[in-house]
Structure 1
Amino acid sequence: MSDLVAVLFDDEHTALEMRAELAKLQKEYLIEMDDVVVVTKDAEGKIKLHQAVNLTAAGALSGGFWGMLIGMIFFNPLLGLAVGAGAGAISGKLADIGIDDKMMKDMAESFQPGNSALFVLVRKMTADKVLDDLKAFAGKGKILRTSLAKDKEDELRKVLEA
């Protein structure tokens, strides 16, 4: 089972920096994330989701491959590639894996312009090492929501909201 952690920042860049740090920790096998999304609200109040994986591009790539393969069977690989890529892009655009986009957008409505938030779906982690590494972000974030156990949430608050 995965745990959701949402952290709010006063600027648009700190959430992106923390996502990069978590990606580095994942490469070191200290944290395993199912999804990680940065949500920004610009000065005009426009909300943007910065997904870690572009599902539209992935769908187009996968659909293009399968379309070309099927097209080769029917002696028209270019048409198969085009149809497959289009269908894959549409299915990727409509797919929503991981953290619910609507929930993130609804929460972002309450942000001040220029704010950002990091939403992370954590499968497992080595908590002491991850929290120690996140001390560089001390005092920069505020916990919006978590599904962590109370003691782990308190540890995270102590590190980020110090």
Structure 2
Amino acid sequence: MSDLVVIVYPNQEKAEEVRTRLFELQKEYLIKLADAVIATKSADGQVQLHQVVNTTASGAVSGSFWGLLVGVLFLNPLLGAALGAAGGALGGAMSDFGINDEFMKQLAASIQPGNAALFVLIREMTADKVVDQIKDYGGVVLKTSLDDAKEQALRQALASAVSSDAPAA
């Protein structure tokens, strides 16, 4: 079973730093990610999703390859590649894996303009080590599917980073 964690950061750059760090932790076998998407909200209220994998582009590439291959078999490689690319792009645009795009847009609509929400779908993780690695980035937990104890630990770790960043009076 996967867990969803959504953390809000003050800007897209900070959210991207955390996402990059999570990918590094994945290489260290501390976390196994199913998806990691950053949602931003512009000043005019538009929500934009920044996905790691562009399914439309990857569908077009694989479709053009297979179309070219089929086209070679039927002596019309250019037509085959064009039809394959169009079909692959359509299929890629229609396929959605990981976190539901509509869900992310609805939830990101509640953040302040300029902020960024990092949506992470976690297959497995060594929670204490991962939280220790990302706590210094701060952020505010918007939503999780973690159990109460893990969610509270995450909230406290992120809050301690925010309070330690505050200037001393």
TM over 0.5: yes
Q: Which 5+ residue runs of structure 2 have no aligned equivalent?
A: 161-169
Name 2:36's counterpart in structure 1: 36
- What amino acid is the match of 2:141? I
Q: Is the 8 A contact 1:40 1:49 kept in 2?
A: yes
Letter in 1 for 2:158: L
1:143-162 map, 5 Å: 143-162=141-160
TM-score normalised by length of structure 2 = 0.90
% identity of equivalent residues:
54
Measured on the aligned residues, the alpha-carbon RMSD in Å equals: 1.1
In the alignment, the residues of structure 1 paired with residue 114 and residue 73 of structure 2 have an alpha-carbon distance, to the nearest angstrom, of 52
Q: Which amino acid aligns with 2:64?
A: G
1:106-151 deviation line (CA, Å, top 9, x unaligned) = 11211111111000000001112111111221xx311111111111
Distance in 2, matches of 1:153 and 1:62, equals: 40
Tell me the secondary structure at the aligned position of residue 44 of structure 2: coil
Count of paired positions: 160
Q: What is the aligned partner in structure 1 of residue 83 from structure 2?
A: 83
Q: Deviations over 1:64-103 (max 9, x none)?
A: 1111111111011111111101110111112111101111
In the alignment, the residues of structure 2 paired with residue 25 and residue 105 of structure 1 have an alpha-carbon distance, to the nearest angstrom, of 27
- Within a 5 Å distance, the mapping from 1:44-83 to structure 2 comes to 44-83=44-83
Does the residue aligned with 2:12 lie in a helix, a strand or coil? Answer: coil
Per-residue deviation at 1:49? 0.1
Equivalent AA in structure 2 for residue 151 of structure 1: A
Q: Which runs of 4+ in 1 moved over 4 A?
A: none
Q: What's the counterpart of residue 98 of structure 2?
A: 98
Aligned to 2:166: none
TM-score by length of 1: 0.94
Equivalent pair of 1:5/1:119 in contact (CA under 8 Å): yes
In the alignment, residue 64 of structure 1 is paired with which amino acid?
Answer: S
Counterpart of 2:155, as a letter, is R
* Shift in Å, 1:43: 2.5
Find the counterpart in structure 1 of residue 5 from structure 2: 5
